[in-house]
Structure 1
């Protein structure tokens, strides 16, 4: 699983799990905080499909944390103001780069995949309940 996939999965469904993972393992991995959880703004790009051009639609508040273990750097970037979650995401990113706690992370990600499947299924069922049956309207 690549970085984009696991970070999106944890950001959407795994805030509490990420915080628990960090609290459980932070003492066993040596790291230094490069830049502590800081608030910032980032521009959001969108694609205009008629001319296939990019443009900036606006800004989003983010919380960013960077931590380091020797040469490897872990980055946690979270939408909104959430210092603990940003630090947890940076720690998880560093763990992936160092290949530490891979079994625990795989279990966590598999659990979150199941949560995502259930969420998508519930959302789909909710949409299907409002679906109009045109056959019934003709009767």
Structure 2
């Protein structure tokens, strides 16, 4: 079974158009009320030299956040990089609905799993492209 942190990670990276396309054939989502946002701000990105050195401020990134409430009081949240307000609100609504037993199984099967598979494929493609540019210094040394 997928956990809330896993579906929130998928939703935080999903484009609004993909979420809308996957939601189109489903029954309408419950009525919700926006509690906060969607609002755009900045967040500080931190890094570490060598992965274990002292932390330093790498720079700022744009962040959009949104919180919604369903009629029963269930809260849904989304924080995502970028400035896509529609995607943040849709992801927050999906987070709230996924916490409801009536919606959870349907939304995981129809929305979360397809999004997760697309994101997995995109990550594999990026890894393949990066691997194709790998330079093997040991090979270069033997070419002299």
Residue of structure 1 in register with 2:53 after alignment: 50
User: Do residues 109 (structure 1) and 122 (structure 2) align?
Assistant: no
| Displacement of 1:98 | 2.2
| Displacement of 1:56 | 4.3
CA RMSD, 1 decimal: 3.2
TM-score by length of 1: 0.72
Residues 21 and 36 (structure 1 numbering): CA distance in 2 closer, same or farther, change over 3 Å? farther
Residues 55 and 125 (structure 1 numbering): CA distance in 2 closer, same or farther, change over 3 Å? closer
Residue of structure 2 in register with 1:91 after alignment: 93
Within 2, Cα distance between the matches of 1:130 and 1:44?
27
Q: State whether residues 46 and 56 of structure 1, in contact with CA within 8 Å, keep that contact through their aligned partners in structure 2.
A: yes
Residue of structure 2 in register with 1:123 after alignment: 126
Within 2, Cα distance between the matches of 1:72 and 1:119?
32
In structure 1, runs of 5+ residues without a counterpart are none
TM-score by length of 2: 0.70
Secondary structure (helix, strand or coil) at the match of 2:90 reads helix
| Displacement of 1:7 | 2.4
In structure 2, runs of 5+ residues without a counterpart are none
| Displacement of 1:14 | 4.6
How many residue pairs were aligned?
Answer: 137
Secondary structure (helix, strand or coil) at the match of 2:60 reads strand
